[in-house]
């Protein structure tokens, strides 16, 4: 599966433990890469994607830039273009695209995400500047709602039981039953029955896929037709119907909301610390205009504040995510506040986090 640098996947491993995966820098390009997950049946293979929002918001305007870096290889290409709310006369959404003043602004990875941002922009344009931060913070909290995400996942598990049964039968048919029949009876005697049975399974999967996709993705008519067409034209591809449905099921939620569902408290806190430290100490900001950098700086601060308040008020997690680590030995003089790497030099920049200034163990400043 292809993953962009501004996305991550929560994957159920063969051992039954949930892990998060990023794009593979060895098999990809400057926008993302491939990642490989459990190839076995839909009952043992699950994957949920999360996509970061490509926009940063503030009370005066927004910019097409997000400083968050999930992938160690950097960010996707971004324009940094700035839009003031008072300059926006018309905003519309077309499938996955946001249209501002009749011009295409940006294409999101899912229709649902585009609709969420469209609704937010509509509110910000009509709201006085002193109240806009309320709607921005409200949107952040909405996407942190792990309970709604859990309800959606549970609902899907209930409704997709039939689909997963059919795809599991397809898996057994393609990799066990069909090879065995060909081996014992010969290709000439079995090719037509195998083809008929495989195509029949694909039709059953397509019917289940259509109803489930229409329920969870009501606006994605184009994607629904494309995926069903692929499964009809090439029946073996129907084995991946479950992954197609789950991949973007909760992708518009904040990664922290999905991590809280699948990780235990210790692993969640470690994951949250990685996200929050990246927000507070981002790798070198691209040289956009000063206004876009100010917008991104404001949005990063409001994200950190919203995260910490959410952890304390809703998750009963009170932890200082910015504490200095313990020095590994007496020779360590400084550390990177982003990746927590330790160094024997007193000052400088982290070689792994471009532009992040090292902090001294002697006189730590928060």
Q: Residue ranges of the domains in the chain?
A: 51-145+255-314, 163-240, 323-366
Instruction: Please tell me the distance from the alpha carbon of residue 271 to that of residue 3, in angstroms, as a whole number.
Output: 19
pLDDT of the residue at 366: 40
Is 57 within 8 Å of 124 (Cβ atoms)?
A: yes
Cβ burial 262-300 (10 Å sphere, 16+ → b, else e): bbeeeebbebbbbbbbbbebbbebbebeeebbbbbebbb
pLDDT of the residue at 40: 64
141-198 per-position pLDDT tens digit: 999 999 999 999 999 999 999 999 999 999 999 999 999 999 999 999 999 999 999 9
Q: Which residues of the chain have pLDDT under 70?
A: 25, 37-44, 71-73, 287, 363-366
pLDDT of the residue at 127: 93
pLDDT of the residue at 297: 94
pLDDT of the residue at 178: 94
pLDDT of the residue at 153: 96
Query: Model-level pTM?
Result: 0.91
Parallel, antiparallel or unpaired: strands 342-343 and 334-335? antiparallel
């Amino acid at each position: 599966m292809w993953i962009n640098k501004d996305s991550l996947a929560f994957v159920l491993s063969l051992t039954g433990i949930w892990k998060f995966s990023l794009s593979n820098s060895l098999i990809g390009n400057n926008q993302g890469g491939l990642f490989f997950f459990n190839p076995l049946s839909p009952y043992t293979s699950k994957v949920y994607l999360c996509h970061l929002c490509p926009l940063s918001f503030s009370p005066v305007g927004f910019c097409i830039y997000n400083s968050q870096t999930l992938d160690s290889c950097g960010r996707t290409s971004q324009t940094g273009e700035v839009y003031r709310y008072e300059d926006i006369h018309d905003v519309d959404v077309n499938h996955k695209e946001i249209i501002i003043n009749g011009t295409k602004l940006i294409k999101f990875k899912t229709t649902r995400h585009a609709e969420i941002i469209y609704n937010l922009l509509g509110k910000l344009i009509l709201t006085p500047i002193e109240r806009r931060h309320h709607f921005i913070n409200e949107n952040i909290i909405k996407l942190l709602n792990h309970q709604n995400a859990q309800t959606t996942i549970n609902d899907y598990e209930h409704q997709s039981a039939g689909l997963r049964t059919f795809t599991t039968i397809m898996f057994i048919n393609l990799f066990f039953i069909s090879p065995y029949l060909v081996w014992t009876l010969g290709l000439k005697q079995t090719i037509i029955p195998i083809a008929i049975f495989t195509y029949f399974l694909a039709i059953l999967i397509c019917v289940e896929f259509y109803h489930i996709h229409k329920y969870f993705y009501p606006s994605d008519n184009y994607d629904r037709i494309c995926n069903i067409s692929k499964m009809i034209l090439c029946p073996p591809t129907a084995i991946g119907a479950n992954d197609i449905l789950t991949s973007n099921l909760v992708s518009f939620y904040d990664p922290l909301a999905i991590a809280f569902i699948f990780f235990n408290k210790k692993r969640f806190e470690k994951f949250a610390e990685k996200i929050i430290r990246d927000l507070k100490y981002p790798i070198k900001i691209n040289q956009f205009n000063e206004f876009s950098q100010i917008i991104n700086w404001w949005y990063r601060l409001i994200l950190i504040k919203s995260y910490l308040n959410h952890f304390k008020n809703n998750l009963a997690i009170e932890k200082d995510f910015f504490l200095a680590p313990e020095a590994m030995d007496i020779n360590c003089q400084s550390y990177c506040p982003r990746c927590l790497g330790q160094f024997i030099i007193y000052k400088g920049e982290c070689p792994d986090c471009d532009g992040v200034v090292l902090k001294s163990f002697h006189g730590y400043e928060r």
